[in-house]
Structure 1
Amino acid sequence: MPERIARGVHMLMLTFGLRYVALDFLVDPQGRWYLIDVNPNGQWGFIPDLRTPITRALADLLERATR
């Protein structure tokens, strides 16, 4: 992900007060990025290799938020 897109994602999360978000992008052949969907409850469990690390990272993030 280009740095300018990553900065935009961070600003979006700050603006909406999100600690986690799943975003869908399309990238055209010229390399232009288009934000298609903002999903604060995005799913990851259907990706076997990512299920455990993402679940643990989110649990850690949420646990820190309550301290």
Structure 2
Amino acid sequence: MGRQAAWLSDVAAINPITHIVNAARALFTGGFLDISALHRLITATANATLGLILSTHAMKRRP
């Protein structure tokens, strides 16, 4: 992310997909014991869980 606009770097830093992709990259390059990969995988799991809870709640509220 070195050659992009500053605002795009800021958006990428808070985008959960960026963390998921970085975790996958770390795992593919052999970073199984890398603590940042673990944190990113936990973040991905939390995002998936939150999305499931919110979508289930939204579907229950529909008439």
TM-score by length of 2: 0.34
Greater share of helix: 2
TM-score by length of 1: 0.33
* Higher normalized contact order (CA 8 Å, seq sep 6+, divided by chain length): 2
Q: Which has the larger radius of gyration?
A: 2
